[in-house]
Amino acid sequence: MELLLLKEPLTVFQVDNLQEVNLSINPLNISITADEISVVAPTSQVPAETVNREDGWQMFKIEGVLDFSLIGILAKISGVLAKENISIFALSTFNTDYILVKTDKVHKAVRELNNNDFVIRHE
C-alpha cells in the first residue's frame, strides 16, 4: 500500500466558534461534537485564539480511494507504529484515511512503515 507524506506542518486545535477558522485553507479537517470543535490545519493558519492546541504534526495520506468494505488498513498502520511507541492522530474522509504523526517521529515512522510493506512517497 502506498502512503503520501505531506510536507505541511500541522496543528490540532480546539476553538469555541467556527467563525475563528478560515474555512478556505487546505488541508482542513473539522470535527464538531456536543463537547467540542476540533480542527486540523496548517500551523501557519491557526487562529491566534484557541481553546487548546498541539503543534508539530505531519500527515500521511493513504493513496487511492478506499472502498468502505476494506477492513484493517488503519489497524495495520497504527499497529506498526504502536510497536515503535509512535502515537497517531487518525482522520477519515469519504475517499481515504489520513494518519498524523508528531514531526519528531516521522523518520522513524517512515522506516517502520517501509519495513512493513508500505511504500512512502514524499510530497
Q: For residue range 14-35, what is the model confidence (pLDDT) as tens digits?
A: 999 999 899 999 999 999 999 9
pTM metric for this prediction: 0.90
Angle between helices 106-114 and 73-83 (to 10 degrees): 120
Is residue 122 over pLDDT 80? yes
**102 dihedral zone (left: phi>0; alpha: psi -120 to 50; beta):** beta
Total number of domains constituting the chain = 1
User: What CATH number is given to the structural domain containing 29?
Assistant: 3.30.2130.10
Average pLDDT over residues 76-89: 96
Residues 6+ apart with CB under 8 A from 79: none
Per the structure, the complete domain to which residue 21 belongs is given by: 2-122
